[in-house]
Structure 1
Amino acid sequence: MATYNSIGATYAYTRRPDPRIAAKIHQALGGAATVINVGAGTGSYEPPQTVLAVEPSAVMIAQRPARSARALEASAESIPLADDSTDAVMALLTVHHWSDLEAGIEELRRIARQRIVIFTFDPDINHRFWLLDEYLPEAAAFDDTRAVGLDRLVRLLGGARVETVPIPHDCTDGFLAAFWRRPEAYLDPEVRAGISMFAQISDDVIRPGLARLSDDLSSGRWHQRHADLLDREALDAGYRLVVADL
């Protein structure tokens, strides 16, 4: 929670839901009449049938839109709700922040009647993203300490299907790989403030890599090295939907 109380202040501005990603998430929820959003943050991607948001950070809750679902200040590892409270539970870009993944997944399984939808990333692919691979390998090493392998997640869910979520080049949700074709964005402190990895790593570790990126953008080296990205509409950066039917 401390992390999101510190970085959450910019989320409403830099982490606006992308409609193409929203469509995939809502499709994955299927015909659920009621949905609870766990690790809900500011409420991105919540469908109209959302009845409750569970979020540990008061800073995040304060940024939820006025007409969004009621928010309960609680952690995923201990949700004060009855068994089978909802048709479906969704947890979006949150499981890598949980202090006890096993406990959190068990809570999702306990409160959901029909389906669990988790939006996460495959660390084996995500950590090959050019920003981490070429400029911030130290950050990638840190990310390894919290990343959740897909095999582990599927096992804890008791089985699940995994769907690829390509990231559009103009993605409006500013998570880590959202700016894969807009590299200059990573030099913007406000953009970085909405990406948890940057908030959790000291500036001393980040600064040299960002300086190299700035130099490569000024010289044109980045564009030469990544010319293959410039005409692409979307990229598989490792983001996945994990969908479990109960």
Structure 2
Amino acid sequence: MATYDSIGGTYSSTRRPDPRIAARIHKALGDAATVINVGAGAGSYEPPQTVLAVEPSSVMIAQRPAGSARAMQASAESIPLADDSADAAMALLTVHHWTDLEAGIGELLRIARRRVVILTWDQVAFRRFWLVHDYLPEAATFDDTRAIAIDRLAALLGGARIETVPIPHDCTDGFGAAFWRRPDAYLDPQVRAGISMLAQTGEEVLRPGLARLSDDLSSGLWYERHADLLARGTLDAGYRLLVADL
């Protein structure tokens, strides 16, 4: 399986934090004065009170902007920090990459004094998203192998509040469903390179579905099928925040 050392090179250009999603995440962190970002990637959504980023990929660490929190190259499953190292720990769109989910969640609970915040997605809801339902079911099948059930995550956290994160139609963060009202974007190889489920499924596998999407956009069929989306400002594509108070 490809890793972020090989697929993460474009993240700083296609994965820019969306301010509306950032506001949801920062609100979930509450009044935490210190935050550790685990599986931090290039640093999206880190609040000003972030004191440390934990990230295994040197490629991702190299894309962190100047002035961002110090980064430690380490895996979520084994974080070389003392217990209760910060008020809060957060893990954003990362738990599906971990090799040992239980160990990673255990580390979040260990290093956080007061709160753990996780951003992930509900695979059952995401499978209804038009891109994977109509055109790229292979990508959904790939995600089936790594998606974490929301109730399982909540149980591992010892209970958690679950919040829906609606995706704005002009979302600036190019993750899987970000372009739900801008379908042409999925035909851009650079955009696909910044979406792990597409990058890791592989261009050869995706090619037939992308060709069908291109044809349907050219003919106008996509717009006929999804006319209801064109008037919407946000979409629930299955993204969820889990907030656990310790």
Quickly name the TM-score band, shorter chain normalised.
over 0.9
SS at match of 2:10: helix
CA distance in 1 between partners of 2:203 and 2:64 (Å): 29
How far did 1:202 drift?
2.4
How far did 1:204 drift?
2.0
* Residue 9 (1) aligns with residue 3 (2): no
* Residue 74 (1) aligns with residue 74 (2): yes
SS at match of 2:53: strand
Match of 2:238 in 1: 238
Match of 2:173 in 1: 173
Structure 1 unmatched runs, 5+? none
Q: Which deviates more, 3-12 or 209-218?
A: 3-12
Q: TM-score, normalised by structure 1?
A: 0.99
Match of 1:118 in 2: 118
Q: Name the aligned partner's letter for residue 18 of structure 1.
A: D
* Residue 225 (1) aligns with residue 225 (2): yes
What pairs with 1:114-193 in structure 2 (closer than 5 Å)?
114-193=114-193
CA distance in 1 between partners of 2:143 and 2:42 (Å): 23
Distance 1:86 1:70, change over 3 A: same
How far did 1:60 drift?
0.3
SS at match of 1:243: strand
Deviations 1:117-149 (A, max 9, x none): 001101110111000000011211111000000
How far did 1:205 drift?
1.2
Q: Name the aligned partner's letter for residue 23 of structure 1.
A: A
Q: Name the aligned partner's letter for residue 46 of structure 2.
A: E
Match of 1:26 in 2: 26
Does the Cα contact within 8 Å between 1:116 and 1:245 map onto a contact in 2? yes
Does the Cα contact within 8 Å between 1:3 and 1:199 map onto a contact in 2? no
Q: Which deviates more, 177-186 or 120-129?
A: 120-129
What is the total number of aligned residue pairs between the two structures? 246
CA distance in 1 between partners of 2:238 and 2:102 (Å): 22
SS at match of 2:138: helix
Runs of 4+, deviation exceeding 6 Å: none
CA distance in 2 between partners of 1:11 and 1:204 (Å): 21
Does the Cα contact within 8 Å between 1:16 and 1:44 map onto a contact in 2? yes
Match of 2:49 in 1: 49
Match of 2:94 in 1: 94
How far did 1:2 drift?
5.1
RMSD: 0.9
Percent identity of the aligned residues? 79
How far did 1:154 drift?
0.2
SS at match of 2:242: strand
Q: Name the aligned partner's letter for residue 44 of structure 2.
A: S
CA distance in 2 between partners of 1:186 and 1:195 (Å): 10
Structure 2 unmatched runs, 5+? none
CA distance in 2 between partners of 1:203 and 1:233 (Å): 30
How far did 1:8 drift?
1.1
CA distance in 1 between partners of 2:118 and 2:5 (Å): 22
SS at match of 1:200: helix
CA distance in 1 between partners of 2:71 and 2:202 (Å): 31
CA distance in 2 between partners of 1:46 and 1:210 (Å): 33
